[in-house]
Structures are given as structure tokens and as C-alpha cells.
């Protein structure tokens, strides 16, 4: 039985998106009050169909400061997932991603501050590390962002830390590493590699690996991210407020390895296509998750291969026929 004392009022920005919708579902199922703010530029209404009658859905843009502040009224905790994602997209079109990822984050912080929100948990990005030497990545490393997107997400981190230091608004930033899972959009040029590979292979098409395929990623199933966010909400301020934490599994898998596992699961008989490396892409990623474990109690619940099995099963059901 859920204790009424444990229930709270949450605002999830980008709540119709891939990660945001998983957070919405988890909180609704737990019995919390959930408000969603989304402009549906990248989020999908169908991601919220199953819980639509149990949430307060507000369609607005993060650039609308008044709408954002209004959405923060009566809220205990903000989970800030709203963003214009994708490194390649930010390289091609830096201005719109800047407006959403920097100005939008500022509006969230101001709204939260003015409305007395207890804590803001922000989706940050491992792209902040860039291609500097040294693995695994540790939060104390100096950032070396390679793309506008990475700069924007890093700027969001700095704003979060400043609002903690200056205004006492508790903030926690979670640097996500290569998140994948159900509901990730598979049919966009900016889609994550797992989603894109899975759908193409299901359709009998050979996916393209940019580079030699030996670049490694700390692939992290979305259920691990949900767990990390919920832990970040309740972690003691003395351990978590104003800090940045890596959220990953602490293991690296190459794109070639990923392709081979997916090919086995999908019984796909063809090799991939190899193309040139993409501008702004980070060559490798591998996280040290010690800090998140110590401060938040974070332990990955879904490993790489189990995550792939769950993801493939969802795409098979979603795109059957």
C-alpha cells in the first residue's frame, strides 16, 4: 500500500517524450499527482494515452515563461526532461536548440524559484565530456563539449548549480549516457541508434554505422533513468543538491557489438553499412557511477542485453505488420 505521506505533486517538462513519458507512467502508477508540460514538437500524444485521464496536461513551449511559471504552481518537484535533443540536429540548426535547451531551462528555474518548488531534477548529458582522454568519465573531469547541444546541456547544468548557490533552490543534474528503450522514436534522422537500427532491421533494411563501429557507448536502458530520477528527488540535500551525477551502467559496448546482438534477436542476416564519422559525435563513452550510487543509492536494474530484449519486444509489438 502506498503511504499518503509519500505522495507529491510533480511537473514533468517534456512529459510526452521518450524519457519523460516513462517518468509520467511511473509516478502515476505510484499514485503521485502529475502535471505535464509539452509542446509536442518531439513528444507524442500517444505516449500519454494510457494515463491521460490521470494527469494535468498543459500544451505549451518552454520558451513561454508565463506558461512555465503557471505550470510550476503548487508543484513540489520538477523533473526537467524538456529539450530539443540530438547532437546532429544542433550542428545543423543551432539556434532552435539553443532557444529550447538554454532559454527553456532558465524559464524552468525561474518558474520553480518563484513558485517555491522544493527541487528540480534536470536531464543533463554525457556529451559534456567530449573526446578528452581518460575512462571512465568522472564528474570531476573538466567538460570539453564538441557540439552546440553539448554546450547547451552543460550551460543548463551551470544554471542549475547557480540557482542552488544563489537562491537555495535544490537542483540535481543527471548526466544521461546513451539512453534506449520503448517509445524512443525510430524513424527520424535524429533518432537514437538503438531505435533506428531496430526498426530498419525489422523492415529488412541495412542500418548505417557512422565510423568503424568500434566506438563504444555506455548504453543505458530507460528504466535505469526512471529509477535515478526518483532517487534524485528524495536524496538528502546534503548529498545531492547542486551536484551533477553520471547515470549509466558502467559498461561499454561497441556499435558493432550492438548491431550483432540486435541481428541475433531479430534474425537479421545482413551486415551493416559503414559511413563517415558524423561531426560533433563523441567517439567513446563510459561512466563511473560511484557518485550516483553513494549519494543517490542508484544501482542499474536493467543490463545491456536485457534492455535490448525488452526494446526489441516493444518495437515488434508496436510496429507489427
Higher pLDDT, 69 or 6: 69
> For residue range 280-304, what is the model confidence (pLDDT) as tens digits?
777 888 999 999 999 999 999 999 9
Residue-range definition of the domain harbouring residue 225: 7-180+219-250+286-301
Within-domain flag for 97: yes
Per-residue CA distances from 103 to 12, 38, 41, 91, 155 (Å): 17, 15, 16, 18, 10
Within-domain flag for 73: yes
Q: The domain spanning residue 108 has which CATH number?
A: 3.40.50.720
- Beta partners for residue 115, in sequence order: none
* Count of domains forming the chain: 1
Residues 6 or more apart in contact with residue 285 via CB below 8 angstroms: 126, 129, 137, 177, 178, 216, 217, 218, 248, 252
**138 within 8 A of 293, measured Cβ to Cβ:** no
**Share above pLDDT 90 across residues of the chain, in percent, rounded to a whole number:** 87
Residue 250 reports pLDDT greater than 80 = yes
Within-domain flag for 312: no
Q: What is the CA radius of gyration of the chain?
A: 19
Q: Which of 10, 149, 298, 315 is catalytic?
A: 149
Within-domain flag for 271: no
d(CA 149, CA 91): 8
**Share above pLDDT 70 across residues of the chain, in percent, rounded to a whole number:** 96
Within-domain flag for 316: no
> For residue range 105-162, what is the model confidence (pLDDT) as tens digits?
999 999 999 999 999 999 999 999 998 888 999 999 999 999 999 999 999 999 999 9
d(CA 222, CA 47): 14
Instruction: Tell me the pLDDT band of 19, cut-offs 50, 70 and 90.
Output: very high
Q: Report the mean per-residue pLDDT for the chain.
A: 94
Within-domain flag for 197: no
Within-domain flag for 50: yes
Per-residue CA distances from 93 to 40, 84, 148, 189 (Å): 18, 11, 9, 13
CA torsion, ordered 307, 311, 317, 320, to nearest 10 deg: -140
pLDDT for 6 equals: 59
**229 within 8 A of 179, measured Cβ to Cβ:** no
pLDDT for 284 equals: 84
Residues 6 or more apart in contact with residue 19 via CB below 8 angstroms: 81, 123, 176, 179, 222, 225, 226
Whether residue 129 lies in the annotated active site? no
Tell me the mean pLDDT in the region 267-279: 93
Amino acid at each position: 500500500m502506498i503511504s499518503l505521506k509519500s505522495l507529491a505533486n510533480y511537473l514533468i517538462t517534456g512529459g510526452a517524450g521518450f524519457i519523460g513519458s516513462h517518468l509520467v507512467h511511473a509516478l502515476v502508477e505510484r499514485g503521485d499527482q502529475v502535471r505535464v508540460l509539452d509542446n509536442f514538437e518531439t513528444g507524442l500524444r500517444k505516449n500519454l494515452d494510457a494515463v491521460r485521464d490521470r494527469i494535468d496536461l498543459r500544451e505549451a513551449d518552454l520558451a513561454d515563461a508565463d506558461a512555465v511559471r503557471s505550470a510550476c504552481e503548487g508543484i513540489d518537484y520538477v523533473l526537467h526532461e524538456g529539450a530539443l535533443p540530438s547532437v546532429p540536429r544542433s550542428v545543423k540548426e543551432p539556434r532552435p536548440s539553443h532557444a529550447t535547451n538554454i532559454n527553456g531551462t532558465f524559464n524552468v528555474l525561474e518558474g520553480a524559484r518563484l513558485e517555491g518548488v522544493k527541487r528540480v531534477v534536470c536531464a543533463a548529458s554525457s556529451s559534456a565530456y567530449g573526446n578528452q582522454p581518460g575512462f571512465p568519465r568522472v564528474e570531476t573531469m573538466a567538460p570539453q563539449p564538441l557540439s552546440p547541444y553539448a554546450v547547451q546541456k552543460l550551460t543548463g547544468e551551470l544554471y542549475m548549480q547557480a540557482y542552488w548557490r544563489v537562491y537555495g533552490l535544490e537542483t540535481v543534474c543527471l548526466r544521461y549516457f546513451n539512453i534506449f528503450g520503448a517509445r524512443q522514436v525510430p524513424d527520424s534522422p535524429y533518432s537514437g541508434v538503438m531505435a533506428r537500427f531496430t526498426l530498419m532491421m525489422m523492415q529488412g533494411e541495412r542500418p548505417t554505422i557512422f565510423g568503424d563501429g568500434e566506438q563504444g557507448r555506455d548504453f543505458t536502458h530507460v528504466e535505469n533513468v526512471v529509477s535515478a530520477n526518483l532517487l534524485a528527488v528524495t536524496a538528502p540535500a546534503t548529498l545531492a543538491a547542486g551536484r551533477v551525477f553520471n547515470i549509466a551502467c558502467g559498461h561499454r559496448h561497441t556499435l558493432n557489438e550492438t548491431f550483432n546482438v540486435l541481428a541475433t534477436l531479430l534474425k537479421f542476416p545482413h551486415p551493416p553499412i559503414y559511413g563517415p564519422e558524423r561531426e560533433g559525435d563523441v567517439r567513446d563513452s563510459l561512466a563511473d557511477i560511484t557518485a550516483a550510487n553513494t549519494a543517490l543509492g542508484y544501482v542499474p536494474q536493467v543490463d545491456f542485453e536485457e534492455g535490448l530484449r525488452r526494446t526489441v519486444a516493444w518495437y515488434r509489438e508496436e510496429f507489427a505488420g
